[in-house]
Structure 1
Amino acid sequence: MMKVMVFLFCYNEYMSMSQSEWEASIQRVGVVVGSLVKRDGKYLLVKENPNGKDVYNLPAGHVDKGEQLEIAAVRETKEETGYDVQLIEQFALYHESAPQSVKHVFLAEIIGGEEHAQEGEILEVVWQTFDEIAEHEKAGRMRAPWVFDVIGKLENRS
């Protein structure tokens, strides 16, 4: 019951905010969603350059004000990769304290769309094996530690 009450409190608090207040709160506590897609032994990743360094990430992004987590995950995947996905399950949840953020990762499958990288934000859409991703992790080319961790969890589950 406590979890439901906390969620309702947060939801009501956010829904009463203006757009600028919502954006400021997202910067304080980021709510991020990502889609984990595996097909034919390879994982769907996006190549980004957020701070002048090429890194790999899941298709992911922030939740818009009033948006459901699942809808945000589908939207972000479409925007970044061109693919339409269907979510299978909420697969993992991560919390980071610096900067403060919560990441919801959904297991998903492609149901349509055509591959293309989001102009201006995504350098490339790539499909890579776990071994290739492990090499990126060793070389410091993953966007964040949780990205490799969640892929490893699915790899170990298979």
Structure 2
Amino acid sequence: MIWAPHVTVAAIVEENGRFLLVEEMVEGRRCFNQPAGHWDPGETLWDAVVRETLEETGHRFQPEYLTGIYHWEHPTRDLTYLRFAFGGRLGPRDHALPLDAGIIGPCWLTPEEITLRQGEMRSGMVSRCIADYRAGRRYPLELLQSV
């Protein structure tokens, strides 16, 4: 068997003390996640986070910095994830765009609401990314180079 970690991207967006999440159905369970998804061939990581945010929320996303890089092992499946989380700004929502399959829709939650609903988060990465954002972690996009 060849080990192949899943490389994913996520958008961290705060407005008025609330964080943008998406409510989604995953493996028959309703849960919350940042707008996030897999890095596709031919994309830069920042192109991937712009695409995933648009597909899951209908909002255009402008990445401004990297919040962190996260390693997570799925607790019940033999899956490893490497997540690149980007902070940035949203443009207006285009309600005419269809959302990805499984996405119920975007929602805004306070850090307190996220803590109260911890069991409903898709993984521990959701809260960790927000905690790092709130701690002021900001890394320049220039850290990610294509050669």
Q: Compute the TM-score of the two structures, normalised by the length of structure 1.
A: 0.76
Tell me, yes or no, if structure 1 residue 102 matches structure 2 residue 82.
yes
Structure 1 equivalent of residue 127 of structure 2: 148
State, as a whole percentage, how many aligned pairs show the same letter.
31
Deviates more, 1:119-128 or 1:56-65: 119-128
Higher strand proportion (structure 1 or 2): 2
Measure the CA separation in 1 of the matches of 2:117 and 2:36: 18
Per the TM alignment, residue 157 of structure 1 is displaced from its structure 2 partner at its CA by 3.0
Query: Which ranges of 4 or more aligned residues in structure 1 deviate by more than 3 Å?
Result: none
DSSP-derived class of the 2:55 partner: helix
Q: Do the aligned partners of 1:30 and 1:62 also contact (CA within 8 Å) in 2?
A: yes
Aligned residues: 131
Secondary structure at 1:77 match in 2: helix
Higher RCO structure (Cα 8 Å, ≥6 apart):
2
TM-score, normalization: structure 2?
Answer: 0.81
Equivalent residue number for residue 41 of structure 2: 65
- Runs (5+) with no aligned partner, structure 1: 1-24
* Contact 2:21 2:107 (C-alpha < 8 Å) held by counterparts: yes
1:35-54 counterparts in 2 under 5 A? Answer: 35-54=11-30
Amino acid at match of 2:117: H
RMSD over aligned CA atoms reads 2.0
